[in-house]
Structure 1
Amino acid sequence: MEQYALYTHPLSNRDDTLALRIVSLSSQNPAFYPSISAALQASISGDTILVEPGTYRESLVIDKAVSLVGNGGSTKVVIESIDLPCLSLQANAIRVEGFTLRNHLAVQPNQYGVVDVSSGQVEIVDCDLSSASYACLVVSGSSAAANLRHCHIHDSDGYGVLVCMVGSCKLEQCTIQGNAQAEVAALQNSDLSLQDCTLCHGRGYGVLIDGCSQGRLLRCDIYDNAQPGVAVYQESVADLLACKLHHGRASGVTFCQQARGLVQDCEAYANIGSAIEVKQQSTPTIRSCKIYKGKWSGIFVGDASQGIIEDCEIFDNVMAGIEVAWESNPIIRHCQIHRHSYQGIAVFQGGRGIVADCDLSQNVLGSISVEPGSLVYQERNSG
């Protein structure tokens, strides 16, 4: 069966849906359509709908395997909606490429995104998403999976990307910025992957991974967010590899509520809070990281947490290089911890730990201080 190619063409320069026509160039099915919705209705799985420059005021439901492609790039092809998603995606093998997608509010909104993915594996490429509502993108449900590349996701009153209820999302080379609650969040046993992304200027979290969810971040640049750059909560797991976490208005990374994971080959610097916080029985591994010039301690471990800190360089933080408190018991080994105005390592309020094979030189108040009631086993340290 021949598969049709559906095209749209503006009849005039007016930004008005009534000034648009959509025409199929298939030799078997030439036709004109009054809207993108009508073209979708006429399409079959495998079709590509090529949308010419213009502003299309529609809320589209796509429930078949079609490609919706903006001809001319996202700045020239706009889909906008009021009090509804621009796109509701509900099938496998949907591809959306080259659009500006935005929604506006007339009344108090329900919880939706400018793009909602409720089922199927979909691909979104080279799009600009913004939303006056709950989120720019929502991926929700165990059969929902979204892959995004080269997208700009910004200025939502809630989340840039929200993955929930066992959903799955992968973002590559995307910029996510200026969102209110979190740039990206994975909740309720969901799965999130970010590669070569920038997450910045947020009014909330950079990345929030909560409710037994999983996250993987590779070579991401995360900065200037009001809450932790990456927050891993409530038995969630996150791996951060070769990321930069800097100039945050809170901590760079926080593990809390029995969270775990790996922070490896990362740089964390110039954050107002501790570069890395480990709280409430969390157990991450922090390996081969460079942690410096923070406005508080380099790493804080508290609330009966454990974990491993190894092969890290920690220097020039305002407080101690590492603080251990409240019955926490980490292993610290093969680290260089130096040039702090306070101690290299400060252990207090019942903190414990093992410190081995570390260089603790050039700290103003000494290498290690252990408050009465705390206990540290030390071996082969210098400084």
Structure 2
Amino acid sequence: EYSDVPADMVAEESGPGAQNSPYQLRRKSLLPKRTAACPAKTNMEGASTSATEDFGHRAKRARVSGKSQDLPAAPAEHYLEEKLPDEVVLKIFSYLLEQDLCRAACVCKRFSELANDPILWKRLYMDVFEYTRPMMHPEAGKFFQINPEEYEQPNPWKESFQQLYKGAHVKTGFAEHFYSNPARYKGRENMLYYDTIEDALGGVQEAHFDGLIFVHSGVYTDEWIYIESPITMIGAAPGKVADKVIIENTRDSTFVFMEGSEDAYVGYMTIKFNPDDKSAQHHNAHHCLEITVNCSPSIDHCIIRSTCTVGSAVCVSGQGACPTIKHCNISDCENVGLYITDHAQGIYEDNEISNNALAGIWVKNHGNPIIRRNHIHHGRDVGVFTFDHGMGYFESCNIHRNRIAGFEVKAYANPTVVRCEIHHGQTGGIYVHEKGRGQFIENKIYANNFAGVQTLSIALSSLLFPTFYITCGGVYIFGDGRGLIEGNDIYGNALAGIQIRTNSCPIVRHNKIHDGQHGGIYVHEKGQGVIEENEVYSNTLAGVWVTTGSTPVLRRNRIHSGKQVGVYFYDNGHGVLEDNDIYNHMYSGVQIRTGSNPKIRRNKIWGGQNGGILVYNSGLGFIEDNEIFDNAMAGVWIKTDSNPTLRRNKIHDGRDGGICIFNGGRGLLEENDIFRNAQAGVLISTNSHPVLRKNRIFDGFAAGIEITNHATATLEGNQIFNNRFGGLFLASGVNVTMKDNKIMNNQDAIEKAVSRGQCLYKISSYTSYPMHDFYRCHTCNTTDRNAICVNCIKKCHQGHDVEFIRHDRYVTLGYLISW
């Protein structure tokens, strides 16, 4: 001490040695500031060391100069410790335990610096706790290891020592040695050592210490660990701590948390249940961890294994059971990994759950956990199974490569699944059935062998904003399934992007369904549903298929750029198609056949390479108030005994005819506007018999109406005007019922061309010649398939033997009719 040294005689050490030493002695104002160099005293206690640990080497320190070159010697230099090199002082300090080392730090500034040397404290720390990295404990229930070189404070070993000091230690065989050598461990009289965990828990009950228990390296077998107080139990071992501290039971649950353990903590250890008879039914109630009513322990950084083939590895059960389980590994279990039931809740974050024989997670009977950022994979069953009114909030989990579905929901279960990735399932992604429900929001669901999502058996689920891609099938809703499928990106599926069948009735909206190797949406076997405001495009087959008694409602969708049909109704497919944009398909925009009878209203249908709407093979349908334009072939086709009703449609600017009816086609056409089409406004052929009432057929680039090839028609109250070739053309042998039609102001371009001597071939389209008189030339041996017109006779066949065939139109490419 320096209490007897006058203040005016205190000098500062100088010289090269003092400047280079990390522990140089500076005595400017030792007297008034002496207490500043003394750290607060603490009741530290602890022991144990690892003889084989490599503690590293200090850099060599220069000896403190005993005499200044420029100043007279100070009285302080007569003290012996001033003559000792740092290395000698550090060697002496290495024999001290923690309390003596703290007292030495209060002697002077130099001792304070040397006594806080990190290597000294690392040796002490590893003696007591065994950790090879400091274990920080800033607050109750929070432990984490750090890398010392990355820590902002200069001595994390001492800081961790202070945080962990008040604890008891379970170290098999060490307790006897500790208590039989009191001189060796003088200063640690209050430190407690036990041989078993049961003894340590008994010490907590008897209030011998505050409840912090360190379980050191070793295997602890068949201990009766029932926790009913807020104890903290943490593994203590070098290296990866949880691998070195193993607690297992072969007869009963390994850990049981009971009422009273609200704030208990267990961390950094391996917990096993390993019964001799792995299939015994009484083990159904035995687990690695059992958390019961009204307790909320924290389980952290544990490895959990169960070899029992019944029950589960972790069971959380009962009202008020609300644990926090984080950073745990629940894997390779021969049963369920994590089981939450009977109104239990809890927070489960950042866990690894894999390769379990049954589901990775079960939630049932009103269990309602919060599960975030878990990695659930390679299960030998389903990834997550919620059933029997199970609930839960699942966020940002990665669920993949499970043998069955990644996520299964049934029997009134109603989970919420947000921003999860569900992929590479060996069967499907999400499977909702038997009155299951649920909300699925912003998930990525991809690369599953079968359906990305299946919903069936009166299930009701909501899928909001997920991504489904590169799967066998996208979303499947079966067996009275319900649900909301909203905002998803569903693409690249080998089967249908969304499949709805067997009385299922979901709401499908705001999705993108595209680039599938099959169809976009497939509704069959009496499927229903409301399908609105989706974008369906670039699918290999139909954008939407409706078949076998199904009756969906499709509203305000954009269905475009398909490689076949836009919307396809067949085999008694029905439903409502209204206010949609359907465009740019390689086949027609809409097809209706084989008894199908949909209501098609207020749609815009354009850009079809095979026409706008095709009704054939006994198709029906109510086609009303649509705008059908700019199709490469007919705006509407009606053929092969079909009988639709068309009302108030605008059919215009087609690159071929407006409406083409042939091969026994019928239909009722009322109040339609048919205009500006490249070919006939209405072409009726081959035994067809439609009824046309109150239509306006005008401004066409060919005829208004053409009836040919044994067809008939009923024409009532139509207006046919301003068509280029003429108003109404009737072929030989055609009988038409007409009433109150107005045929006016047509341009009669054919008659004018004939009167000018032009060949009809010169004013024809690419596919057909306008209706007029056609002939056969016997001299040139022409046939019906290359007939000639009247001006051909005058110019090229003058004087030849010619025969009148019929008054009709002539088709060159087998298009519509062939001679």
TM-score between both structures, scaled by the size of structure 2: 0.42
Match runs of 1:176-187 below 5 Å: 176-187=490-501
Aligned counterparts, 1:145-160, within 5 A: 145-157=460-472, 159-160=473-474
Structure 1 unaligned blocks of 5 or more: 106-111
Distance 1:132 1:356 in 2: 50
Is the contact between residue 294 and residue 321 of structure 2 (CA under 8 Å) also seen in structure 1? no
Worse-matched range after superposition: 122-131 or 47-56: 47-56
User: Which residue of 1 is the match for residue 543 of structure 2?
Assistant: 229
Q: 39, 50, 53: which one pairs with 2:371?
A: 50
Equivalent residue of 2:575, what SS? strand
The one-letter amino acid paired with 2:419 is G
Q: How far is the alpha carbon of 1:57 from its aligned partner?
A: 4.6
> Closer, same or farther in 2 for the Cα pair 1:352/1:84, shift >3 Å?
same
Q: Report the 3-state secondary structure (helix = DSSP H, G, I; strand = E; otherwise coil) of the residue aligned with 1:113.
A: coil
Note the 1:292-303 alignment, pairs <5 A: 292-303=606-617
The amino acid across from 1:235 in the alignment is G
SS at match of 2:667: strand
Higher strand share: 1
- CA deviations on 1:21-69 (whole Å, 9 max, x unpaired) are x9x9x99754655439644347453533232365655423223523142
Instruction: Classify the secondary structure of the residue corresponding to 1:351.
Output: coil
Task: Check whether the contact 2:409–2:437 (CA below 8 A) recurs between aligned residues.
Answer: no
Take 2:294 and 2:432, find their aligned partners in 1: how far apart are those partners? 25
Q: Is 1:269 the counterpart of 2:604 in the alignment? A: no
Equivalent positions of 1:153-168 (< 5 A) are: 153-157=468-472, 159-168=473-482
- Contact 1:303–1:327, Cα closer than 8 Å, also in 2: yes
The separation in 2 between residues aligned to 1:9 and 1:154, in whole angstroms, is 35
Q: Deviations over 1:270-298 (max 9, x none)?
A: 01111000100111111111111111110
Quickly say closer, same or farther: Cα 1:54–1:358, change in 2 above 3 A. same
Give the direction of change, closer, same or farther, for the CA distance of 1:291–1:6 in structure 2 (3 Å limit).
farther
Larger Rg: 2
Give 1:322's match in structure 2, choosing from 618, 636, 639: 636
Distance in 2 of aligned mates of 1:54 and 1:99: 10
Aligned to 1:127: 443
Separation in 2 of the partners of 1:103 and 1:28? 33
Moved more, 262-271 or 121-130: 121-130
The answer to whether the aligner puts 1:86 opposite 2:406 as a matched pair is: yes
Q: Deviations over 1:245-288 (max 9, x none)?
A: 10001110011111111111111110111100010011111111
- The residue aligned with 2:61 is none
CA distance in 1, matches of 2:543, 2:489: 14
Q: Distance in 2 between matches of 1:229 and 1:302?
A: 19
User: Aligned-pair distance for 1:132?
Assistant: 3.3
Q: Kindly tell me: are residues 5 and 62 of structure 1, through their superposed partners in 2, closer, same or farther at Cα, counting changes over 3 Å?
A: farther
Q: Is the 8 A contact 1:122 1:145 kept in 2?
A: yes
Give the C-alpha shift of residue 2 in structure 1. 8.6
2:342 corresponds to 1:40? no
Aligned to 2:91: none
Separation in 2, partners of 1:121, 1:304: 40
Number of residue-to-residue matches in the alignment: 363
Report the structure, 1 or 2, having the larger helix content. 2
Aligned counterpart, 1:109: none
- DSSP 3-state at the match of 2:674: coil
Are the structure 2 counterparts of residues 366 and 104 from structure 1 closer, same or farther at C-alpha, using a change threshold of 3 Å? same
Q: Residues 662 and 685 of structure 2 are in contact (CA less than 8 Å); yes or no, is this contact kept in structure 1?
A: yes
Closer/same/farther in 2, CA of residues 322 and 93 from structure 1, 3 Å limit: same
Residue deviations 1:211-262 (CA, integer Å, cap 9, x gap): 1111321111110011110100011112111111100011100111111111
Q: CA separation in 2, counterparts of 1:370 and 1:256?
A: 24
Q: Partners of 2:297 and 2:502 in 1: how far apart?
A: 39
Distance 2:449 2:520 in 1: 19
Distance in 1 (CA, whole Å) between partners of 2:419 and 2:579 is 34
Q: How far apart are the structure 1 equivalents of 2:535 and 2:598?
A: 20
Question: Where does structure 2 lack aligned partners over 5 or more consecutive residues?
Answer: 1-291, 306-313, 346-365, 699-819
Alignment of 1:315-354 (within 5 A): 315-354=629-668
Amino acid at match of 1:52: R
For residues 137 and 27 of structure 1, do their structure 2 counterparts lie closer, same or farther at Cα, with a shift above 3 Å needed?
Answer: closer
RMSD: 3.0
Query: Which of 201, 209, 215 is the matching residue for 2:515?
Result: 201
Identical-pair percentage? 23
Q: Does the residue aligned with 2:675 lie in a helix, a strand or coil?
A: coil
